[in-house]
Structure 1
Amino acid sequence: MFSNDFKSIVLNSTRLIDVRAPIEFEKGSFPYAINLPLINDKERHEIGICYKKYGNNEAVKLGHRLVSGAVKEERVKAWSEFIKINSDAKLFCFRGGQRSKISQEWLSQSGYDITRFRGGYKAFRNYLINEIEKSCTHFKPIILGGRTGSGKTILLNNLDNSIDFEGLANHRGSSFGRKITPQPSQINFENALAYDLIQKLDKGLKYLVFEDEGNRIGSVFIPKIFADYLLVAPLIILETHIVERIGITFNEYVFEAQKMYGNNLVEWRDEILGAMSRIKKRLGSQRYQKVCDIFENAFDEQMQRGSQEAYKEWIEYLLREYYDPMYDYQIQKRSKQVEFRGSSEEVVEYLSQLP
């Protein structure tokens, strides 16, 4: 059984079995995919050498010898257990060829029928990339800007027609934005973006709202055609009082961030100091030294008395001396794109009135 109804797979968030080797899976796969390989990395390497020396037939024979007996039973069992829980699951390898065919046949012999991708990973991946590019003709973009700590992500997550680049990238989009868990690969980021776009546009949404990010979020990049489309989109500025901005920034970069590090606050401190060193040149030596001193004093205060309040002074200094001037300068250069400014409530009201 074959399937190339990739849109249905996306819209239904279908669970997938990726039977490629772990090394292939780590480079990139699809949302809702689990790696249950037919052959592991070592076996794949040996089979590859055999293929180069003796051709396809001998490589296939070696593969069957390596994955036989208890090894074969173990792998078929893993697939079967997954299918028991996910009856609509689909199966794929790289090109929809031998590995997925063998896996499908072995499952059938064990009493489990499963559909595999026509064209495999490569065909589905091409579909998703094409959908990102095609999507630019199906919606009107709106960019949500605002100074650091304005609550842009909070607002986005309360909108039905938004796409959160930072959430997809697992990064806060700034020098201090790295999280304790790693970012996705570029391939995984693009595939997740395609899923989000397809699912949102299937609802008939005319406008999609994105945070003002640029084309890079940590280590991943927004696909160029898509980023260029957003570059000339109307800009809405979220305006939030400095006191509230300090609170929002404190909650995300101190309170919630420290919880991720558990009891290892020294590691969190070192991460923050590393982030500050990355902006040292733009801060200048005098301001850099001052912001480091404020931060270290706040850290000592927490260690001695358990209070995090002193970090708010550090945050306010960074906002006023570094982030605000830099952002205001960038927005001034794009002033012709600005169509609206207002509070969170006013922005939501404005968006609701769009034709």
Structure 2
Amino acid sequence: MRDDSRHYLSLFLDDTPLMDVRAPVEFTKGAFPNATNLPLINDDERHRIGICYKQHGQQAAIDLGNALVCGEVREQRMQAWQAWWQANPHGYLYCFRGGLRSQTTQAWLRESGVDAPLVQGGYKAMRRFLLESLEQSIAALPWQVLCGRTGCAKTRVIEQLDNSVDLEGLAHHRGSAFGRRPGGQPGQIDFENALSVALLKLRQHTPSAVIVEDESKLIGRCHVPFPLQDKIKQSPRVIIEETLDARVQTTLEDYVIGPRQEYAAVYGEQQAQQRLGDALLDALDRIRRRLGGARHQALRARLEQALAEQQRSGQVDGHRQWILPLLRDYYDPMYDYMLQHRQGTVLFQGNRDDVLAWLRDNRAIEH
């Protein structure tokens, strides 16, 4: 029989499977990587038990809970827990505070012969641990910021380094008006939890500076923690420089060709092209005021023509006709302005391949 645990660090570093027995509404508001929601009580039951507790006290609430989760309902939930435990024999379970719900689940499982240790302190203690660790990690780690105009493939470089943190990947967003991805974004709490876990792992295994992409305060709707925003503004920089044509090609691949496959995976092949086209048009409309009416209208017409050609023949080259002026006349001036407000020393600049090689060669050096 394994002991219950307060070793939050090892739970997260080891990617320990976690069974979250809170109600779905609690899980949706915030959870952890490697957590699966298999609640003891559902949202309606939780609401009714909560009212009972306020009106009649704890014992009455416990009695109501036992009455609601009995017979076939209890058996169905037990079967789900047992199946999860069979697939995750080294897992742990938790509720909000490590109290009655997790203890009840643990007791029922042990009655059925399943050793199910719980996380002491539950979600609340683990969340507090990750918030404290996030602040400590941002302060303790050395940082280098990867800069470059839109289309320089900064994210591709980030993905090839084991001493990096992919903020856009964690936020499931490409970080611009065109950055929305099918499937939506995690909530702010989930984003912070995943970021904290990623930084904990880097603190354990990375002796060198952590590479992070130059981001603004928001990645879609995910807010970059203020201490990390400050690090991004002040830390040493590495700058990717690519030709406009190369950046057009990368943007075409990252925002048209690649997403087409993502939309097909989420919505099915028949809806993929329409969904992608609508998303691109919506993104362009979101920056209408900043573009100005005439420029927005001209770019939208080119985008509509490119989408029609893509739908008709599968050809995507027509998208270059709106991507190039959008990069040159809109995103490039905006990036140049932002770069003027970055304070860190420039350590290296070059094309994407040279930057990647430099970052790998200088991996053991802390700045």
2:298 to 286, 290, 293: 290
Structure 2 unmatched runs, 5+: 264-268
Say whether 1:239 aligns with 2:241. yes
1:119 is aligned to 121
2:321 is aligned to 313
Alignment partners' CA distance in 1, 2:343 and 2:193: 33
Counting aligned pairs with the same residue, the percent is 43
**Partner of 1:310: helix, strand, or coil?**
helix
Contact persistence 1:237–1:338 (CA under 8 A):
yes
**Partner of 2:19: helix, strand, or coil?**
strand
2:307 is aligned to 299
Alignment partners' CA distance in 1, 2:95 and 2:228: 28
2:95 is aligned to 93
**Partner of 2:144: helix, strand, or coil?**
strand
Amino acid aligned to 1:122? K
Alignment partners' CA distance in 1, 2:222 and 2:71: 42
Amino acid aligned to 1:289? Q
Question: What's the CA shift for 1:151?
Answer: 0.8
Say whether 1:325 aligns with 2:333. yes
2:198 is aligned to 196
Alignment partners' CA distance in 2, 1:136 and 1:334: 18
2:284 to 276, 298, 304: 276
Rate the CA distance shift 1:335–1:21 in 2: closer, same or farther, 3 A. closer
Q: Deviations over 1:126-184 (max 9, x none)?
A: 00111110113321111101011101000011111000000000000000000111100
Alignment partners' CA distance in 2, 1:325 and 1:215: 19
Rate the CA distance shift 1:110–1:260 in 2: closer, same or farther, 3 A. same
Alignment partners' CA distance in 2, 1:315 and 1:169: 24
Contact persistence 1:142–1:210 (CA under 8 A):
yes
Question: What's the CA shift for 1:338?
Answer: 2.9
Amino acid aligned to 1:322? Y
Say whether 1:267 aligns with 2:238. no
Alignment partners' CA distance in 1, 2:217 and 2:340: 19
Alignment partners' CA distance in 2, 1:129 and 1:189: 11
Q: Deviations over 1:24-61 (max 9, x none)?
A: 01111000000000001111111011001101110001
Alignment partners' CA distance in 1, 2:49 and 2:79: 23
Q: Deviations over 1:170-220 (max 9, x none)?
A: 000000000111100111101110111111111142310000011210011
Q: Deviations over 1:222-278 (max 9, x none)?
A: 122232233211121111122221111111111111223333223322221111111
2:29 to 19, 27, 49: 27
Amino acid aligned to 1:98? L
Question: What's the CA shift for 1:307?
Answer: 1.5
**What is the 5 A alignment of 1:144-293?**
144-261=146-263, 262-264=269-271, 265-293=273-301
Question: What's the CA shift for 1:347?
Answer: 1.7
2:8 is aligned to 6
Contact persistence 1:15–1:86 (CA under 8 A):
yes
**What is the 5 A alignment of 1:50-65?**
50-65=52-67
Question: What's the CA shift for 1:342?
Answer: 0.9
Contact persistence 1:39–1:67 (CA under 8 A):
yes
The two structures, once aligned, show a CA RMSD in angstroms of 1.4
Deviates more, 1:294-303 or 1:26-35: 294-303
**Partner of 1:181: helix, strand, or coil?**
coil
Structure 1 unmatched runs, 5+: none
Alignment partners' CA distance in 1, 2:312 and 2:13: 52
Contact persistence 1:140–1:208 (CA under 8 A):
yes
Contact persistence 1:178–1:218 (CA under 8 A):
yes
Say whether 1:43 aligns with 2:51. no
Question: What's the CA shift for 1:9?
Answer: 0.7
Alignment partners' CA distance in 2, 1:242 and 1:66: 64
Alignment partners' CA distance in 2, 1:137 and 1:43: 43
Alignment partners' CA distance in 1, 2:343 and 2:186: 33
Alignment partners' CA distance in 2, 1:225 and 1:152: 22
1:346 to 348, 351, 354: 354
Alignment partners' CA distance in 2, 1:319 and 1:194: 33
Contact persistence 2:214–2:232 (CA under 8 A):
no
Alignment partners' CA distance in 2, 1:15 and 1:349: 36
Say whether 1:143 aligns with 2:138. no
Alignment partners' CA distance in 1, 2:276 and 2:85: 41
TM-score (norm 2): 0.93
Question: What's the CA shift for 1:336?
Answer: 5.7
Contact persistence 1:132–1:226 (CA under 8 A):
no
Q: Which runs of 4+ in 1 moved over 4 A?
A: none
Alignment partners' CA distance in 1, 2:97 and 2:341: 47
Contact persistence 1:240–1:343 (CA under 8 A):
yes
Alignment partners' CA distance in 1, 2:190 and 2:55: 34
Alignment partners' CA distance in 2, 1:334 and 1:76: 55
